[in-house]
Amino acid sequence: MPMSVGQAAVERPSSPFADARLTNRLAMAYLLDSIAIFRGEDHLLDALLISAISQANVDSISRQADLQVTYAAPDAPPPDALRRPVSMNALATSLRLPFETVRRRVRGLVARGTCEAVSGGVIVPTRAVNSPQYFETTFQSYERLRAFYYQLRDLGLLKELPPPSVDLGGELTPLRTVARVSNGYALRVIESVMQAIGDLMSGVILIEVLRGNTEHLAADQRGGEGASPDDYIADELRRPVNISSVARRIGLPIETVRRHAATLLDRGLCVRVKGGLMVPTEALARPNMVAFGTEHFLTLHRMFAALSQLGVLAVWDKAELAAPAG
């Protein structure tokens, strides 16, 4: 009797390359889910700008373990006095967006009360990160990352993580620490995407197409037998995704997605097949995409290393052991 995809993934021996590519595939699904949670009904660019502003504001806190612990809990937001403003020019440069686009959208965020203009630039103030909407989306993101951690851990894909250097305490929910660490990871990945693809929107659309091509596969599906010799998932195992689905999941107009998809098609990063778009193995094996995959794998490991050192993973492991069976 022929093996299913899931059976094949379990019985086929893995390799370091296959493990790394599996990790990246699962991570892209996590990243896109996190963006969708944070974006809500907002425009993708607004969500990315809020993330970039917030991360720049608390960069000094993110670099100090004692402050990460001090401002870890839901009821312990950093005060505005510790938030460093970021300029419009710095935002435009970091996200590779036109200055006028950034200025116009940030003005809209200030008008909504999400951001606040101060001397030296703009901040996401403490009142904005104490709102019911903030807690709802941040708890959803927290739980999505915790589930992703359990997934990678149980598949044996998290190796050589450092031990905790601080003790958060068993009863603490390190919501804000996790938000800062995971937000930093997401922004670094976005930066790597732009370096590989050259355009923010095209890069996000490419990742969404790639996710759609492979999300039907078993969580432990690796490349190998029946796939390319370099441990990629074979093209015949990928399923096409249509433009309307990509637009809906990213929250962009169909015509915007169609325009960027045309650029990806012209560059050979996507191909059009029956049923929609697909990112072929040939595109993934290009030097810029291999470099992106390598950089992302290292960025992901740094995120989990930071979470381990800050005691977050120990808190999650303890919570799982304490959870009632079933």
Q: DSSP H helical segments within 155-223, as ranges? A: 175-197, 200-214
| Residue 222 pLDDT > 90 | no
CA atoms within 13 A on the CB side of 33: 17
| Residue 325 pLDDT > 80 | no
| Residue 169 pLDDT > 80 | no
pLDDT digits (tens, 9 = 90+) for 288-309: 999 999 999 999 999 999 999 9
Q: How far apart are the first and last CA of the chain?
A: 32
pTM exceeds 0.85 for this model = yes
pLDDT value of position 200: 87
pLDDT band at 324 (very low <50, low <70, confident <90, very high): low
3-state SS assignment for residue 273? strand
| Residue 240 pLDDT > 90 | yes
| Residue 2 pLDDT > 50 | no
Cα 319 from Cα 96, distance rounded (Å):
40
| Residue 229 pLDDT > 90 | no
pLDDT value of position 278: 97
**Portion of the chain with pLDDT greater than 70, in percent:** 91
pLDDT digits (tens, 9 = 90+) for 257-293: 999 999 999 999 999 999 999 999 999 999 999 999 9
Cα 222 from Cα 25, distance rounded (Å):
10
For residue 215, give the nearest of 86, 33, 82 by alpha carbon: 33
Cα 152 from Cα 27, distance rounded (Å):
9
